[in-house]
Structure 1
Amino acid sequence: MKRLARVAELPEFKEYREKEPQAAWEHMKNDGLNNGREIFQNTRLRLFESQGSLCAYCEISVDVMNDPRGARVEHFHPKSDDAGVNWNLVWDNLMGACSGNTVTDLEEPAYRAPPKKHLSCDAHKDHLIQTGKLDEACEGRVLNPYDLPAFSKLFTVKQSSGELAPDVEACEATPKFCESQAGTNVELVENTINVLNLNCGRLCDARKTVVRQLNRQLQTEREAGKSKNQAQRLLSDRHLSKRWPQFFSTYRVILGNGFEEALQDVEYDG
């Protein structure tokens, strides 16, 4: 999971909320009278554009323009909560997410059978809520990508398995998140991985492929006479020419200081 930068609210979204303050999300999506369908499409495009076309949780690439079935809008705070705030239409509550293994004819890493085993992201979170294993309002149990620091890597990747894990040193050096229900940042990162099922086999195998590719590229550059840092930086510049590479956090771990230097140069903020 990487930091998300907050993006300015679409004017038409704000106008719709002011006109229909109690509207449910599904109502807006299907509201042809007040341009709700178009506003939904523009909202989804705006979110994914700001995220570099990556899922806010697992970081797989989402082709929202050519195959929008794999792209949806996630409400971090449950939109079903009607205790005084209509969370359906709170702009800062929205982020772009993948389909979480619910669209069966997408290619890997977006889908793998059996479906329930490989549910991830908001789809897995919703599954836990529906089965009574997770409270509906789960802030503090799951990290909000908007709240992540830009240059503190709370997640690391196990190269042998492709599994995400807490970066213990970074977690301990980062102030505790104010809404955290976990005892430590390490526990909060572990909870986030589990709730979103970010270590399902589908995602771990895809990360392992990225790890192997990057290590081969690093080896090639080292054999050509470049130092470790030169090789890391060259590859970082190459891969950051696209905003952002799929499995961004895996690139960050494998390319190390070179990647951090490149992020500093582009004034990375999510």
Structure 2
Amino acid sequence: MKKVNKLTEIPDTLRQYQKENPLATWEHFRNESNGGYRQVKAQLIVDQRGLCAYCEIDLHDGAGKGLDDFRVEHFIPKKPHNPPPNHALEWQNLLATCCGGNVRDLAVSSRFTSPDHSCDVPKSNHNWSETILNPLDIPAFPRLFRFDESTGEIMVDEKSCPPDLQDKASETIRCLRLSAPRLQKLRLPVFEILNEQMQDFANSGVGIEEAVALLAEALFSEEIEIPLPAFFTSIRWYLGNAVEERLNAINYNG
């Protein structure tokens, strides 16, 4: 999990719908808002630079070949619907997440891993706002998590994660199943590719420090319109200080 920013105050269609229907449900908005749901989805993808708010896999467009691996998640559950405040239509409560492995007809069939689920599937209708990290509230620096590149497991990085966030970070991994076998398996190719790229640099006579700096610059664009690489924090951990320097240089804030 990485920090998420809201780049716009609120999409126009959602703002107008809230004004006219302050007590409406999320389902009402989806069905009645004349393109509002599509606008919300598009803005969430831009805000999150193409990544799931929980596991950081890329939010995959079905492109007519299957369903999108993407849906809108309410950090505070939209049900039971008991406004005010109406969390169902609250912009700050909306996140983009992958389908967590429970949708069969995705364009990328390997992402259907049921009953091995993660992200919003185990979260379901639980209100874990006091238990797990909210991507909107965590810091951009320092990095909170570390990984095992041989297994793909995610763990709290006790050396860099602030002490006051460590319990929530641990519960985030457990509750959202961020070390589920499906996610460990999906992370492994990321580390394999990075290892191959580092070996290619070494074979070309490029030193380790220069190699990681070159990879950091190539992978992390300063243009916020450009998606970040899937499993951003895994790469951030693997490349270490070179990424921290790169992120500082581009004024990264989520």
What is the TM-score normalised by the length of structure 2?
0.90
Match of 1:151 among 122, 141, 145: 141
Query: Per the alignment, in what secondary structure is the counterpart of residue 35 of structure 2?
Result: helix
Residue 244 to residue 213, structure 1, CA distance change in 2 (3 Å)? same
Give the drift of 1:83.
Answer: 5.3
Matches within 5 A, 1:38-53: 38-53=35-50
Counterparts of 2:205 and 2:160, CA distance in 1:
32
CA contact (8 A) 2:119 2:178 kept: yes
Report the RMSD for the aligned CA atoms in angstroms: 1.7
Aligned to 1:78: 77
Correspondences of 1:240-259 after superposition (within 5 Å): 240-241=220-221, 242-259=226-243
Alpha-carbon offset, residue 109 of structure 1: 5.4
Shift of 1:151: 1.5
**Is the contact between residue 6 and residue 92 of structure 1 (CA under 8 Å) also seen in structure 2?**
yes
- How far apart in 2 are the matches of 1:76 and 1:261? 31
Structure 2 residue 188 is matched with structure 1 residue 201: no
Partner of 2:51, secondary structure, is: coil
For 2:3 and 2:253, the matched residues in 1 are separated by 7
195-204 vs 259-268, which moves further: 259-268
CA deviation digits over 1:196-254, x for unaligned, max 9?
Answer: 11111111011111111101211221332222221111011122245200110111011
Partners of 1:175 and 1:17 in 2: how far apart? 39
2:2 corresponding residue in structure 1: 2
| Alignment correspondent of 2:156 | 166
Give the Cα separation in 2 of the matches to 1:220 and 1:69.
34
- For 2:204, the aligned partner's letter is A
One-letter amino acid of the counterpart of residue 111, structure 1? F
Match of 1:170, SS state, is: coil
Q: Deviations over 1:63-97 (max 9, x none)?
A: 34736632111110111242531101111011111
Counterpart contact for 2:67–2:105, Cα < 8 Å: no
Q: Is the 8 A contact 1:5 1:146 kept in 2?
A: yes
Q: 1:63-102 residue pairs with structure 2 within 5 A?
A: 63-64=60-61, 66=63, 69-81=68-80, 82=82, 84-102=84-102
d(CA) in 1 for partners of 2:150, 2:35: 45
| Matched AA of 2:251 | E
Q: Which amino acid counterpart does residue 58 of structure 1 have in structure 2?
A: C
Q: 1:215 to 1:204 in 2, by over 3 A?
A: same
Q: Which runs of 5+ in 1 are unaligned?
A: 130-135, 177-184
Q: Say if 1:60 and 1:109, in contact at 8 Å, map to a contact too.
A: no
The answer to whether the 8 Å contact 1:72/1:99 transfers is yes
- Say which SS state the counterpart of residue 111 (structure 2) adopts: coil
Partner of 1:124: 122
* In 2, Cα distance between equivalents of 1:65 and 1:12: 24
2:193 maps to which residue? 213
* Counterpart code for 2:250: V
Q: Distance in 2 between matches of 1:53 and 1:109?
A: 19
Shift >3 Å, 4+ stretches: none
SS in structure 2 of the partner of residue 13 of structure 1: helix
Q: Which residue pairs with 1:111 in the alignment?
A: 112
Deviation at residue 111 of structure 1 after TM alignment: 2.0
Q: Report the Cα distance in structure 1 between the residues aligned to 2:61 and 2:136, rounded to whole angstroms.
A: 21
TM-score, structure 1 normalization: 0.85
Aligned residues of 1:229 and 1:257 also touching (Cα < 8 A): no
> Are residues 123 and 20 of structure 1, via their aligned partners in 2, closer, same or farther at CA, if it must alter by over 3 Å?
same
Secondary structure at the aligned position of 2:136 is classed as helix
5+ residue gaps in structure 2?
none
Give how far 1:142 is off.
1.1
Alignment check: 8 A CA contact 2:117 2:182 kept:
no
Task: Give distance in 1, aligned partners of 2:39 and 2:6.
Answer: 16
